Structure 1
């Protein structure tokens, strides 16, 4: 049992709270029974389990290398308000995309909760891939991972240059939809097709103009009340399900 927060393993685990260390080691930290089991069932490599003293190890995890730690140590490693006493070090993995269904492109979304919710919705809506553009929060940020509720392990997600990706999508036969507040068509008036790439943008500024200029269609969601706009994760959800209708 590890009893000291000065232990070298503990120091390494804490470093994974930062993107730099995650990129360097190609690993990330997840917490909670649901997420850890989701990673295991989705065949992502779990390098190590971290179990708080007194917490029972799940039956399916018996063959995974496991380290037991004192409560005080787990509290330092954990990034949640009410930790469940189980965490895991997981190896990053790039899932393959068939691109037979719609693709979601994300331009500079910075709120981890929004990004995680959007990835979860893209998974639920049966999208084939999520591509994260410049300025978007790291997909392996702990708050993003938690907000995906395990969908991160099911749907391909990757960071890329959207200005380079959009021409490739067009060559592959995709129509490019971008969300906009002005000079845009009501989304319900545009017929969805199977091979559509949807672009949603930053919470405050929307999609960058240089990206918007190379889209095929600008779409908007009408506001019937007095709200200025919709939360980006809500707007993305509405449009993703419309594209699958």
Structure 2
């Protein structure tokens, strides 16, 4: 195994760039750590370079069989990860996004608009996968970068299995209309309760929005149905992941 022992090493430079949003955008790659490396490989992701610490390589984990990783001592790894627990293995992965046209045959999708917190994005991917969603349309306007460490780790592997298509708001709405999706949004300002909502036949798109303001008026105006999640007590709203999970569960179990 070749050792990376200098910050001037070209592989190290790429790894360092992939730690920043700007670097990920310019290189078209992102960084994954520990178990996510093997999840990405098993999901068929396009892996560029794999780097392990010597102690991990000596343990000869089954997941490394057939791979040709580089070795990097902990002292060098600390130059990439200055705080917290150091990963045993890292890898660079090529970005891969679906096109809206890849979603024309899907029957149940999530539309994510303006979600800001990386952990919410990742948890929503995980929730969507668990509740039968076949793909996520991410409206690019104002959303947090998808390839950050926090998004990937919060998804618990769903990031690599859930098809995602990035589009602007106009493109997304036009696609949903053209392909006869029933778009469902949530709002507290409606008398239509999720409890009594009858899920229509045909493809369904559930739209979720910003943690503070919800979906935009553009989405609400384009939605075929707007439903309210019934709540008790003095609660006015729920966390966006919780709200999405409730609606997705209701539709998936209808």
Asked if TM exceeds 0.5, the reply is yes
In structure 2, the CA distance between the partners of 1:212 and 1:13, relative to structure 1 (3 Å rule), is: same
Q: CA deviation digits over 1:98-152, x for unaligned, max 9?
A: 6432110011001000000001111111211101111111221111011111111
In structure 2, the CA distance between the partners of 1:99 and 1:137, relative to structure 1 (3 Å rule), is: farther
Q: Which residue matches 2:123?
A: 117
Which piece of structure 1 moves more, 108-117 or 9-18? 9-18
Aligned partners of 1:204 and 1:5: how far apart in 2? 42
Q: Secondary structure at the match of 1:114?
A: helix
In structure 2, the CA distance between the partners of 1:90 and 1:184, relative to structure 1 (3 Å rule), is: farther
Task: Quote the RMSD (CA, aligned, Å).
Answer: 1.9
| Alignment check: 8 A CA contact 1:179 1:218 kept | yes
Count residues in correspondence: 244
Aligned partners of 2:186 and 2:83: how far apart in 1? 33
Residue number among 89, 108, 111 corresponding to 2:92 in the alignment: 89
| Alignment check: 8 A CA contact 1:101 1:126 kept | no
**Alignment of structure 1 residues 1-245 onto 2, 5 Å:** 1-32=3-34, 34-56=35-57, 57-78=60-81, 81-95=84-98, 96-97=102-103, 99-133=105-139, 134-193=141-200, 194-245=202-253
Aligned partners of 1:97 and 1:62: how far apart in 2? 35
Q: Secondary structure at the match of 1:55?
A: helix
Which piece of structure 1 moves more, 18-27 or 170-179? 18-27
Q: Which aligned runs of 4 or more in structure 1 are off by greater than 6 angstroms? A: none
Aligned partners of 2:92 and 2:67: how far apart in 1? 11
CA shift for structure 1 position 83: 3.0
Aligned partners of 1:79 and 1:115: how far apart in 2? 25
Q: Secondary structure at the match of 1:119?
A: helix
Which piece of structure 1 moves more, 157-166 or 58-67? 58-67
Aligned partners of 1:228 and 1:28: how far apart in 2? 38
